């Protein structure tokens, strides 16, 4: 089992190094790294349990209390290794992955046709190269686009990344611009019986609408209040804005923005969604 974990780790690293495009590395790491590492530590946890279970081998000739004690300690030891590893991968390691993803995302691109180094356009410059639907996706933070330009040849490369807020794909136009505009409680939850919540969606691009019914058992109280960033900091000489949002369950999410306007707009969208 330990060897299996090592093999999975080596295969994972070889897979990353075999990908030539930085965007492909980004996608693979974001989708597979934490899952693969959990599988590795699962193998290591099983290996620890098996090693502990070898204690007293050859001395225990019959199934008795010591056999059950050894079995219990084996399971406990393996579970402890796996549980601690899963906690680290769920709560600490995403920050490490985010730094690695940023490295590959902003690594200077090279035009394969000319060999020239391409330049990443700013949010203001890239709009001319995006379709209206793409701009709508960026406006609600469901998708983020990076535009790289070879200034000598004029070649343009557009890369698509997941945004900071989730939005559904519109069945009419196909863009990820369908978001909740209104919610209503059709039936209140009473005496433990689930109620019914109806969410009304509208596409911010083609304006298509739809409604979906959800079952609810409790009502969530409390409104999100976003603080104004413009009053808290000066817009000048800002290279990066990082926002940390903590939920009542203790989970944390981090979001990064290039300027105050983007961060302020994100907080408004997040508040409307919350």
pTM: 0.60
Within the chain, where are the H helices?
2-18, 22-52, 65-87, 93-105, 123-126, 132-139, 229-232, 260-273
What does DSSP assign to residue 216?
E
Residue 23 has pLDDT above 70, yes or no: yes
What's the pLDDT tens digit per position in 171-192? Answer: 888 776 777 777 777 777 777 6
> Which tokens belong to 16?
């990353």
CA distances for 41 relative to 36, 53, 55, 77, 168, angstroms: 9, 18, 22, 13, 34
Q: Are 246 and 252 in contact (CB under 8 A)?
A: yes
- Spatial distance between the Cα atoms of 219 and 121, rounded to a whole number of angstroms: 44
φ/ψ of residue 197, rounded to 5 = -115, 130
Q: pLDDT band at residue 224, thresholds of 50, 70 and 90?
A: very low
Tens of pLDDT, residues 48-77: 999 988 876 766 666 678 778 888 999 999
| Residue 99 structure tokens | 């730094």
What pLDDT is stored for residue 197 in this prediction?
A: 72
- Report the SS3 class of residue 53: coil
Q: Token pair for residue 205?
A: 């691009």
Q: Which residue has the higher pLDDT, 149 or 179?
A: 149
Express each pLDDT in 236-269 by its tens digit: 556 567 677 766 555 566 666 666 777 777 777 6
Q: What pLDDT, on a 0 to 100 scale, did the predictor assign at position 249?
A: 56
Residue 225, class by beta-carbon neighbours within 10 Å (0-12 exposed, 13-18 middle, 19+ buried)? exposed
Domain boundary assignment for the chain: 2-105, 111-165, 167-221, 224-274
Give the pLDDT mean for 202-218.
Answer: 74
For residue range 108-140, what is the model confidence (pLDDT) as tens digits? 999 988 999 999 988 778 888 888 788 777 776
- In the sheet with 119-120, reading across from the earlier edge strand, the strands are 119-120, 143-149, 156-162
pLDDT (mean) for 215-239: 49
What residues are paired with 120 via a beta bridge? Answer: 148
- 33-56 confidence digits (pLDDT tens): 999 999 999 999 999 999 988 876
Please check whether the domain covering 167-221 is classified as CATH 1.25.40: no
Residue 274 confidence (pLDDT) above 70: no
CA 71, 77, 78, 79 torsion: positive or negative?
A: positive
**Long-range contacts from 57-60, C-beta under 8 angstroms, 24+ separation:** none
- At residue 120's C-alpha, the angle toward residues 116 and 126, to 5°, is 125
Q: Is residue 228 pLDDT above 80, yes or no? A: no
Mean pLDDT of 145-154: 90
Q: How far apart are CA 60 and CA 66, in angstroms?
A: 8
What percentage of the chain reaches a pLDDT higher than 70?
74
Is pLDDT above 70 for 18?
yes
Residue count of the chain? 274
Contact 261, 236 (CB under 8 A): no
pLDDT at 7: 97
């Amino acid at each position: 089992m330990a060897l299996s974990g090592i093999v999975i780790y080596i295969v994972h690293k070889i897979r990353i190094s075999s990908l030539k495009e930085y965007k492909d590395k980004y996608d693979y790491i974001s989708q597979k790294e934490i899952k693969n590492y959990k599988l590795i530590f699962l193998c290591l946890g099983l290996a620890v349990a098996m090693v502990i279970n070898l204690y007293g081998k050859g001395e225990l000739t019959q199934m008795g209390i010591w056999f059950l004690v050894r079995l219990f300690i084996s399971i406990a030891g393996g579970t402890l290794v796996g549980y601690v590893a899963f906690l680290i991968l769920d709560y600490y390691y995403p920050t490490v992955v985010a730094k690695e993803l940023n490295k590959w995302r902003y690594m200077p691109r090279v035009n394969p046709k000319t060999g020239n180094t391409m330049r990443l356009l700013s949010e203001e410059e890239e709009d001319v190269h995006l379709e209206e639907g793409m701009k709508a996706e960026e406006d609600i933070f469901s998708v983020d686009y990076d535009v790289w330009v070879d200034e000598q040849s004029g070649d343009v490369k557009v890369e698509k990344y997941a945004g900071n807020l989730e939005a559904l794909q519109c069945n009419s136009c196909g863009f990820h611009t369908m978001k909740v505009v209104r919610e209503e409680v059709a039936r209140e939850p009473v005496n433990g019986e689930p109620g019914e919540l109806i969410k009304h969606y509208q596409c911010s691009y083609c304006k298509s609408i739809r409604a979906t019914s959800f079952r609810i058992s409790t009502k969530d109280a409390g409104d999100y209040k976003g603080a104004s960033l413009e009053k808290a900091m000066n817009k000048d000489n800002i290279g990066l804005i990082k926002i940390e949002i903590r939920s009542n369950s203790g989970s944390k999410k981090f979001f990064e923005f290039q300027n105050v306007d983007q961060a302020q707009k994100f907080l408004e969208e997040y508040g409307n969604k919350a």
